[in-house]
Amino acid sequence: MNDDEGDKGAHAKNQMWGGRFAEGPAAVMRDINASVDVDRRLWRQDLAGSRAHAQMLAAVGVITDADAAAILAGLDQIASEIEKGDFHFSADLEDVHMNVEARLIDIVGEPGRRLHTARSRNDQVATDFRMWTRGACAGAADALGALQAALLDQADAGADAVMPGYTHLQVAQPVTFGHHLLAYVEMFARDRGRFGDAAARMNDCPLGAAALAGTSFPIDRDMTAKALGFDGPARNSLDAVSSRDFAIEAMMAASLCATHISRLAEELVLWTSPHFGFVTLSDAFSTGSSIMPQKRNPDAAELCRAMPGRIAGAMTTLLTVMKGLPLAYAKDMQEDKAVTFAAFDALELALAAMTGMIRDLTINHGAMRAAAELGYSTATDLADWLVRVRGTPFRKAHEIVGAVVAAAERRGVTLDRLPLDEMQAIDASITEDVFSVLSVEASVASRTSFGGTAPDNVRKEIAAWRDRLNGEA
Binding site for ligand ARG (CB under 6 A): 35, 39, 95, 121-122, 125, 329, 331, 333-334
Dihedral-angle region of residue 14 (phi above 0 means left; psi in -120 to 50 means alpha; beta otherwise)? beta
Residue 112 and residue 11: Cα distance in Å, rounded? 24
Angle at 364 between CA 359 and CA 365, to 5 degrees: 115
Residue 322 and residue 288: Cα distance in Å, rounded? 44
Residue 365 annotated among the catalytic residues of the structure: no
CB of 97 to ligand ARG, least distance (A): 6
CB of 142 to ligand ARG, least distance (A): 27
Angle at 84 between CA 110 and CA 134, to 5 degrees: 80
Q: Which residues sit opposite 297 in a β-bridge?
A: 287
What residue spans of 361-393 are helical by DSSP H? Answer: 365-373, 379-390
Residue 22 and residue 178: Cα distance in Å, rounded? 71
Residue 55 and residue 242: Cα distance in Å, rounded? 25
Helix then strand then coil, in percent of the chain rounded to 5, is 65, 5, 30
Residue 209 and residue 215: Cα distance in Å, rounded? 7
Comparing CB distances to ligand ARG, the nearer of 68 and 333 is 333
Angle at 262 between CA 160 and CA 139, to 5 degrees: 95
CB of 52 to ligand ARG, least distance (A): 18
Does 211 sit behind a cis peptide bond, omega within 30 degrees of 0 on the bond before it?
Answer: no
Long-range contacts of 393-398 (CB under 8 A, 24+ apart): none
Comparing CB distances to ligand ARG, the nearer of 272 and 340 is 340
CB of 332 to ligand ARG, least distance (A): 9
Residue 443 and residue 437: Cα distance in Å, rounded? 6
Rg (CA), the chain: 31
Q: Which amino acid is at 117?
A: T
Residue 122 CB-density burial (10 A; 0-12 exposed, 13-18 middle, 19+ buried): buried
CB of 95 to ligand ARG, least distance (A): 4
Residue 289 annotated among the catalytic residues of the structure: yes
Q: Which amino acid is at 377?
A: S
Comparing CB distances to ligand ARG, the nearer of 264 and 318 is 318
Residue 21 CB neighbour total at 10 angstroms: 11
Residue 395 and residue 392: Cα distance in Å, rounded? 8
Comparing CB distances to ligand ARG, the nearer of 129 and 285 is 129
CB of 82 to ligand ARG, least distance (A): 17
Comparing CB distances to ligand ARG, the nearer of 125 and 458 is 125
Dihedral-angle region of residue 135 (phi above 0 means left; psi in -120 to 50 means alpha; beta otherwise)? alpha
Of the candidates 168, 216, 275, 290, the residue annotated as catalytic is 168
Of the candidates 80, 273, 282, 289, the residue annotated as catalytic is 289
> By C-alpha distance, which of 163, 8, 17 is closest to 94?
17
Comparing CB distances to ligand ARG, the nearer of 40 and 226 is 40
Q: Which residues sit opposite 174 in a β-bridge?
A: 164
Strands 232-233, 204-205: pairing is parallel
CB of 374 to ligand ARG, least distance (A): 57
CB of 71 to ligand ARG, least distance (A): 20
Comparing CB distances to ligand ARG, the nearer of 95 and 191 is 95
Residue 156 CB neighbour total at 10 angstroms: 15
Comparing CB distances to ligand ARG, the nearer of 153 and 239 is 239
Comparing CB distances to ligand ARG, the nearer of 95 and 267 is 95
CB of 334 to ligand ARG, least distance (A): 4
Q: Which amino acid is at 283?
A: D
Q: Mind telling me the catalytic residues?
A: 168, 289
